[in-house]
Amino acid sequence: MTRYHIVRGDITKLRVTAIVNAANEDLRSGGGVDGAIHKAAGVELQKECDALGGCPTGQARLTQGYRLSAEYIIHTVGPVWHGGDKGECALLGACYANVLSLAVKSSIGSLAFPAISTGAYGFPKDRAARIAIGMCRLLAAPDSPFSEIYFCLFDEASVVLYKNCLADVL
């Protein structure tokens, strides 16, 4: 049975099998979580990302974790928020579905997510939290290989929001 944890902190410091990177389509080091992950992992990460040739919105790609505590990084590209009528919710759901599918294929036991698309991409935090927790609860079935799923968040308000969403679905 999967255990869920909601924490405030630095995702690059978590001791999990894989962390999720809220990446851009070029898989180039950017700002926010993406920049922090690239910086902590080291230059080898960018070399591997360059060899992957990018990642479309809603999809996911796997790399080594390099200098991180995590063995792997799963990069996913969340949608930019355009008001909600451009398929943003479905694309964000696809991010979680594709990350979880890739994690199952790679026998990843513990996984940490940031709040995908809620920073510079402007996705409303409450909608993003419901999608994140809903997709994980739906797809991390009792027979899945996940022992633990973390939601690693930047601020206390997001922690409260995710805890409330998790309590609603349990």
Q: Which residues are catalytic?
A: 34
Q: Which residue has the tokens 């026998």?
A: 107
Q: Contact, 105 vs 139, CB < 8 A?
A: no
Output the 3-class SS for 64-87: ECCCCCCCEEEEECCCCCCCCCCC
- Biggest CA-to-CA distance, the chain: 42
Q: Is 147 helix (H, G, I), strand (E, B) or coil?
A: coil
